[in-house]
Amino acid sequence: MNHPSALGKGLGSLIPQKHTLTERVIPSARKEILEIPPNDIKENPRQPRSHFSQSELEDLIASIKEHGIMQPLVVTRSNGAYELIAGERRLRSARALGLETVPVIVREANEQQKLELALIENIQRQDLNAVEEAIAYKALIDEFNLKQDEVALRVGKSRSNVANIIRLLDLPSDILDALKEGRISKSLARTLLAETDPKKQHDLFEQMLNGGVTVRQTEARVTGITTKRSVPIAKDPNIAAHEKKLREILGTKVDITESNGKGKIEITFYSRPELMDLLELLSEKK
């Protein structure tokens, strides 16, 4: 299986000094860094992030005040003005500090590239909640006629991961609101997708909000399987690391149990389409 390189290598990937995901979006990148007034830069209308934590902004403001802006913003020219592609928190912080100029890299970008680059930056920083991420992926598919595997390639995720995130948008609005606000986790939200009865789904959701149900318990209730409580056993760190790697590749829950050199790998899916995606992913040749 051949997967694109993972994200999370820092915002240096947004500067055209290495061949990265960003260069895959805009291959002909200029290396020149300019200094321009922050008020001359318009916000990115394609910014997928709708919520900005005030405490995180304050931390960034304090850091910029002490060290300056370490990473240039990425902008494009639009109708004779500069339009932000990546770096909205840095731009907001610079304005709050009253900085006269900010460092920028100017690139030519169309509407699709603006969304892709903003999405990549937010994924690298893990700033997007699951709903914002899903909406951005769906916009790339609906507005620019991309397929899920094309979106996955551009943002450095597996196709299964992209598909699973997008499916969250099938949940009712009150559940999506709770997910956006961090009142339930992405894992819990995904288990709710498997419950097709609206009333049962909502009852489970209410229990989640009250902290009365875990992912495993939700899975058991949805599938009609009851499990006995057992004392948790500490997992071998190497096994845990392999589990984490498989979760990242497959975009779903993976459990590995091992004893005396034998064991099993359990891969969880929450719907028939998700099963089909997993089978397709596991069938791919290297």
Contact (Cβ atoms closer than 8 angstroms) between residue 77 and residue 11? no
83 is catalytic: no
Cα 65 versus chain centre, distance: 29
Catalytic entry in 32, 43, 83, 88? 88
Beta carbons within 10 angstroms of residue 71's beta carbon: 15
Residue 270: which of 257, 242, 284, 251 has the closest Cα?
251
Query: Pairing state of beta strands 81-86 and 73-78?
Result: antiparallel
CA dist., res. 52 & res. 58, Å (int):
11
Hey, what's the torsion of the CAs at 245, 47, 51, 126, to 10 degrees? 20
The pair of structure tokens assigned to 172 is 């009712």
Contact 159, 152 (CB under 8 A): yes
Catalytic residues: 88
